[in-house]
């Protein structure tokens, strides 16, 4: 970062290639790393996170579970493959994966995949669910982008692999549950105008957003 004529403020940021971007302020996101140095290296992923299975059970330890920022789990939702793994640093993912753990302890293995939901709370909330480990090839938008009130469906072939919403929170809750149950409409159906809120989902067992 390079100071302006006033040394107390930023004037520009110099990139690795030498290009300088003028700016009045800089926001630095330094991130965090899991504190797992006390654990056996065989239990950890390359980034230091704890490796768990699809039920959030710690590999190699009976009756031990891990959720939240520390846990990397295999993604089995739409678009996920046999080697797809994900670790999402958001409190809602930790909260919902805790519910999944409780369900597994009390009722046994759930055959439906865990679908992460998270969002940015800076200004108008942008909510997101799903995962795109292999990318997407189409984007279907329902609503008005200019008014920041829309649902965007990311598709791979005919399958919805992720959904982003703004100003349409009920659609996010519905989308995650339909993806979990593998009941999400196809790309063709969405392009035809299908409203996912018209699809019935038992409210008492819907995943919370």
User: For the segment 49-65, what is each residue's pLDDT rounded down to a tens digit?
Assistant: 999 999 999 988 889 99
pLDDT at residue 8 greater than cutoff 70: yes
Helices (H) and strands (E) in the chain, counts: 3, 11
**Residues 158, 182: one domain?**
yes
- If we measure between CA atoms, which residue out of 88, 92, 25, 101 comes closest to residue 58? 101
Decide which of 134 and 192 is more confident.
Answer: 192
- Give 3's pLDDT tier (boundaries 50, 70, 90): low
- Domain span at residue 20? 1-30
The answer to whether 173 and 206 are in contact (CB under 8 A) is yes
79 vs 71: which has the higher pLDDT: 71
Among 96, 112, 128, the domain-final residue is: 112
86: domain CATH number? Answer: 3.50.50.60
Share of the chain above pLDDT 70, in %: 93
- Provide Rg for the chain, Cα atoms: 20
The C-alpha atoms of residue 169 and residue 199 are separated, in whole angstroms, by: 16
Please say whether the beta carbons of 100 and 55 come within 8 A: yes
Q: Are residues 37 and 95 in the same domain?
A: yes
Tell me which of 79 and 127 has the higher pLDDT: 127
Mind listing the pLDDT tens digit for each residue in 21-59? 998 888 887 777 888 888 888 889 999 999 999 999 998
Beta-bridge partner residues of 138: 155
Assigned domain for 162 exists = yes
Residue 205 has pLDDT above 60, yes or no: no
Q: What is the count of structural domains for the chain?
A: 3
CA distances for 193 relative to 68, 112, 142, 143, 188, angstroms:
36, 27, 8, 11, 9
- Is the domain of 8 the same as that of 69? no
Picking from 82, 112, 142, the residue at the C-terminal end of a domain is 112
- What's this model's pTM, rounded to 2 decimal places? 0.77
Mean pLDDT of the chain: 88
Task: Say if residue 121 is in the same domain as residue 149.
Answer: yes
Q: Which of 147, 138, 144, 149 is nearest to 191 (CA)?
A: 138
Confidence of residue 115 (pLDDT cuts 50, 70, 90): very high
């Amino acid at each position: 970062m390079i100071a302006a004529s006033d040394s107390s403020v930023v004037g520009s940021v110099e990139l690795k290639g030498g290009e300088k971007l003028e700016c009045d302020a800089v926001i630095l996101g330094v991130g965090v790393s899991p504190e797992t140095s006390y654990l056996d290296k065989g239990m950890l992923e390359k980034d230091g996170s704890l490796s768990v299975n699809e039920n959030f059970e710690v590999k190699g330890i009976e009756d031990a579970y891990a959720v939240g920022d520390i846990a990397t789990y295999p993604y089995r939702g739409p678009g996920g493959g046999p080697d797809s793994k994900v670790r999402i640093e958001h409190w809602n993912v930790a909260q919902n994966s805790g519910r999944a753990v409780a369900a597994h302890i009390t009722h046994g293995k759930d055959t439906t995949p865990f679908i992460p939901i998270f969002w940015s709370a800076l200004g108008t909330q942008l909510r997101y669910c799903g995962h795109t480990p292999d990318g997407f090839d189409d984007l279907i938008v329902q609503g008005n982008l200019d008014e920041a009130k829309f649902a965007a469906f990311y598709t791979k072939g005919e399958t919805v692999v992720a959904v982003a919403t703004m100003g349409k929170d009920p659609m996010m809750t519905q989308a995650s549950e339909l993806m979990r149950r593998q009941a999400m409409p196809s790309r063709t159906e969405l392009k035809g105008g299908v409203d996912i809120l018209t699809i019935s989902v038992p409210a008492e067992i819907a995943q919370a957003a």
